[in-house]
């Protein structure tokens, strides 16, 4: 502003009003206020001053509200907690606990492919591989864009088919993991 004052007729009231309007429109409220300070009282000056004050207050309110929203703690997600629990059973090879928990999870959330994987894994490892294969195949129908889970399901299908003596199907699912199909 200071460099421009020397090159333009800054004393011209109409020019300064237009400058104040311009600064207001481009949301440079502090600059607009500086330009308005030297102007004589008029309806334009009082109206624009009020609008600038309102805009600054709105901006301040938004800045105060935004951090509060960001500081909210994440809501406990029962699905995520259940998946973590089932993962722990799989890692610990506690297939009897996995069998009970995953069956209950699948009954509660029948559209979640992860629970089919967990239940199928439990069945495969508790002596009911044919039922495990059946559950895993059903789970593949609900699977969308989750390659990691798909590969885990293929691995369990391969193991399940091996346990029931179908080596051809076992190799077919093992090849699906390796080829990425």
- Nearest partner of 120 among 79, 171, 178, 161, judged by Cα: 161
Q: Are residues 94 and 56 in the same domain?
A: no
Whichever domain contains 124, its CATH number is 1.25.40.10
User: Are 62 and 113 part of one and the same domain?
Assistant: no
Q: Which of 141, 163, 159, 161 is nearest to 150 (CA)?
A: 141
Range of the structural domain that residue 60 is part of:
2-70
Within this chain, do residues 32 and 94 fall inside the same structural domain, yes or no?
no
Q: Give residue-wise pLDDT tens across range 127-147.
A: 998 999 999 999 988 888 888
Residue 72 pLDDT grade (very low, low, confident, very high; cuts 50, 70, 90):
very low
Q: Evaluate if residue 39 carries a pLDDT over 70.
A: yes
Are 9 and 15 spatial neighbours (Cβ–Cβ below 8 Å)? yes
- Residue that finishes a domain, picked among 35, 70, 105: 70
Q: Residue 48: how many CA atoms within 13 Å on its side-chain side?
A: 27
Where do the H-state alpha helices sit in the chain? 2-7, 13-25, 29-37, 43-70, 78-91, 95-108, 113-124, 129-140, 147-163, 167-179
Q: Do 44 and 115 reside in the same domain of the chain?
A: no
Which band of pLDDT confidence, cut at 50, 70 and 90, is reported for residue 60? confident
CA distance 134 to 136: 6
pLDDT at 69: 46
Shared domain for 64 and 85, answered yes or no, is no
Question: What's the average model confidence in pLDDT over 109-125?
Answer: 92
Please tell me the total count of domains within the chain.
2
173 and 87 assigned to the same domain: yes
166 or 34, which is more confident? 166
State whether 160 and 118 are in the same domain: yes
Of the chain, the percentage scoring pLDDT greater than 70 comes to 86
Write down the pLDDT at residue 15: 78
Looking at 34, 51, 70, which one is the last position of a domain?
70
Of 70, 99, 124, which marks where a domain is finished? Answer: 70
Q: Give the mean model confidence (pLDDT) for residues 145-163.
A: 91
> Are 66 and 82 within one domain?
no
Say whether both 160 and 89 belong to one domain. yes
- Mean of pLDDT values over 82-104: 91
How far is the C-alpha of 85 from the C-alpha of 137, rounded, in Å? Answer: 23
Q: Do both 161 and 112 map to the same domain?
A: yes
Whether 117 and 174 map to the same domain: the answer is: yes
Q: Would you state the pLDDT for residue 71?
A: 47
Whether residue 55 is predicted with pLDDT greater than 80 in this model: the reply is yes
Same domain, 55 and 89: no
């Amino acid at each position: 502003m200071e460099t421009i004052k020397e090159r333009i007729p800054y004393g011209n009231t109409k020019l300064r009003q237009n400058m104040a309007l311009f600064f207001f429109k481009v949301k440079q409220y502090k600059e607009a206020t500086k330009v308005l300070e030297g102007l004589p009282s008029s309806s334009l000056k009082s109206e624009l001053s009020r609008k600038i004050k309102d805009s600054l207050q709105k901006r301040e309110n938004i800045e105060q509200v935004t951090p509060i929203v960001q500081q909210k703690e994440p809501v406990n997600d029962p699905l995520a907690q259940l998946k973590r629990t089932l993962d722990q059973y799989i890692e610990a090879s506690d297939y009897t606990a996995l069998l009970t928990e995953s069956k209950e999870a699948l009954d509660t959330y029948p559209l979640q492919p992860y629970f089919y994987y967990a239940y199928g894994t439990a069945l495969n490892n508790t002596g009911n591989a044919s039922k495990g294969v059946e559950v895993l195949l059903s789970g593949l129908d609900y699977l969308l864009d989750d390659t990691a889970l798909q590969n885990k399901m293929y691995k369990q299908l391969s193991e399940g088919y091996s346990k029931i003596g179908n080596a051809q199907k076992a190799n077919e699912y093992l090849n699906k993991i390796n080829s990425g199909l």
